[in-house]
Amino acid sequence: MRTTEPLKFLTPAEVPVLATAFGTPTFIYDLTSLEARYRYFATIPNAFGLTIRYSVKANPNRTILRVFDRFGAHFDVSSVWEARRVIAAGIPASKILMTAQEVSLGWEGLCRQGMQYDAGSISQLKAFGIAFPGADVSLRINPGFGSGLVRKLTSGGSHSSFGLWIDQADEAIELAKRFGLTIGRLHFHIGSGHESTVLEQTVDVALQLCARIPSVQILNLGGGYRIAALQSDPQYDHHAMGERIAARLRDFARAHGRELKLELEPGTALASLAGSLVTRVIDKVDTGAQGYRFLKIDGGLTELMRPSYYGALHPLVTVQADGTLPTESEEVMVSGHCCIAGDSLTPKPGNAEDIQAQPLGMVVPGDFLVVERTGGYAASMSVKNFNSYPEAAEVLRSAHGQYTLIRSRQTFEQMTENEIDATL
Ligand SMILES: Cc1ncc(COP(=O)(O)O)c(C=O)c1O
């Protein structure tokens, strides 16, 4: 039996204040929570050094990138475009590792500036060898299995095109030799929201491969660390996981005389819980005595696609227009504002095809609904401009509770500025 969820970091009184100042829907990111999440990961026990690479895809807003840079993070990017955002934020290219499905125009220039390159296929490795013979390279390996919150988030195993299939390692080693490349890092990312037992199996496979490639100095285990978003979610102890990995790295060092440095690339675990989306309830309808009651809000797929795409549950919290929490609750569905049936924020757990009512504090149109866990994979992964709704604003809340606008709401003119009046 589910109960209503609490707000993560906002107070109920702040919600109408934010709505008045910035409009709705608006993302609020909390600096204190971002710092706490980073410090937690940066202090994971390790054997011979740990680098945290913030996974830019979670939230690429330049202020968020600068915040993580100030904390001491390095960066994981998935495209040349993400790399360009990091550099545009004033961060040196040498702090970037690119692990991309598409290695597009301009990648060589970024590598010349110092960006590190993680080859995820034989053809990516070849392209790097041709452009940078004799350089250092990293290999992303698909270990033959994976784990993720849902299948769509699992990026290891035979149904995943990510990384060099483990059996192609010999071919990759030969190819690297041909171009005089030094394989300094092995990289594994088996999925987002993985089971840590599967990650630890990955470490075993990874160390067998590290043993065969004497030049490897760094083991990168990607991201995907689970978080407790709902009250019913278990708490995950990433420090205990760090201890177990460190023990394996120490064993490896004793056996092979090599002290491997560890890299982790969390996105979700650093950013997601540090963001809230403030929306307004715009309507309340029902489908009769045998049906359901629905709240409609002024956000949805245009800000967050995880519920519709993965069946992911986000904590939803209603707040009354006067900034207080409702005293009574009811079972309701929540629909986004898009004119498409799939825009629901109350999927049946793990089943994006179906919906299920949730207990929420009772509200009426004009009140607010806060969607939690929206600091990552929300603004960055939304169905932009569907139904021509403008991109939402983004605000950073400082440690002293001050609000700074870090992305303005998109205007109509910005939404249509690249369209060209063709002569018909
Ligand atoms: C290579 C790589 N590293 C890190 C991440 C971050 O994963 P998460 O946000 O689940 O921590 C991803 C996510 O897809 C990824 O593909």
Tell me: the pLDDT tens digits for 195-224? 999 999 999 999 999 999 999 999 999 999
User: Which residue from 54, 77, 154, 265 has its CB within 8 A of the most atoms of ligand 1, so it is best to mutate?
Assistant: 265
Atom of ligand 1 nearest to the CA of 270: 11
Q: Say what the pLDDT of residue 79 is.
A: 98
Question: Using 50, 70 and 90 to split pLDDT, how confident is the model at 388?
Answer: very high
* Continuous segment of H or E residues that includes residue 254: helix 238-256
Task: Tell me the whole-structure pTM to 2 decimals.
Answer: 0.97
Do residue 187 and residue 154 come from a single domain? yes
Average pLDDT over residues 61-87: 98
Q: Say what the pLDDT of residue 351 is.
A: 82
Q: Quick check: is 66 in a domain? A: yes
Atom of ligand 1 nearest to the CA of 272: 9
Average pLDDT over residues 251-279: 98
User: Which residue from 189, 219, 272 has its CB within 8 A of the most atoms of ligand 1, so it is best to mutate?
Assistant: 189
List the single range of 76-90, 104-118, 146-160, 374-388 with lowest mean pLDDT.
Answer: 146-160
Angle between helices 238-256 and 31-42 (to 10 degrees): 30
**Hey, how many other C-beta atoms are within 10 angstroms of the C-beta on 18?**
21
Q: Say what the pLDDT of residue 352 is.
A: 82
Average pLDDT over residues 147-155: 91
Angle between helices 62-71 and 31-42 (to 10 degrees): 40
Q: What is the CB < 6 Å shell around ligand 1?
A: 55, 58, 76, 99, 189, 192, 222-225, 265-269
Do residue 243 and residue 340 come from a single domain? no
Number of domains in the chain: 2
Q: Say what the pLDDT of residue 1 is.
A: 61
Structure tokens at 196: 């840590």
Q: Tell which residue, 278, 289, 287, has the closest CA to residue 316.
A: 278
Atom of ligand 1 nearest to the CA of 268: 9
Q: Is the pLDDT of residue 350 over 90?
A: no
Q: Say what the pLDDT of residue 210 is.
A: 98
Q: Is the pLDDT of residue 229 over 70?
A: yes
Q: Quick check: is 418 in a domain? A: no
Q: Say what the pLDDT of residue 2 is.
A: 72
Pairing of strands 316-319, 368-372: antiparallel
Q: Quick check: is 421 in a domain? A: no
Phi, psi of 330 (to 5 degrees): -150, 160
Residue nearest to atom 10 of ligand 1 (CA): 224
The Cα 378–Cα 372 span in angstroms is 10
Strand intervals (E) in 78-217? 96-98, 116-119, 136-142, 164-165, 182-187
Residues facing residue 276 across a β-bridge: 28, 372
What domain range is 201 assigned to? 31-271
| Whole-number percent of the chain with pLDDT over 70 | 100
Atom of ligand 1 nearest to the CA of 271: 9
Average pLDDT over residues 65-94: 98
Distance 347 CA to ligand 1 centre (A): 23
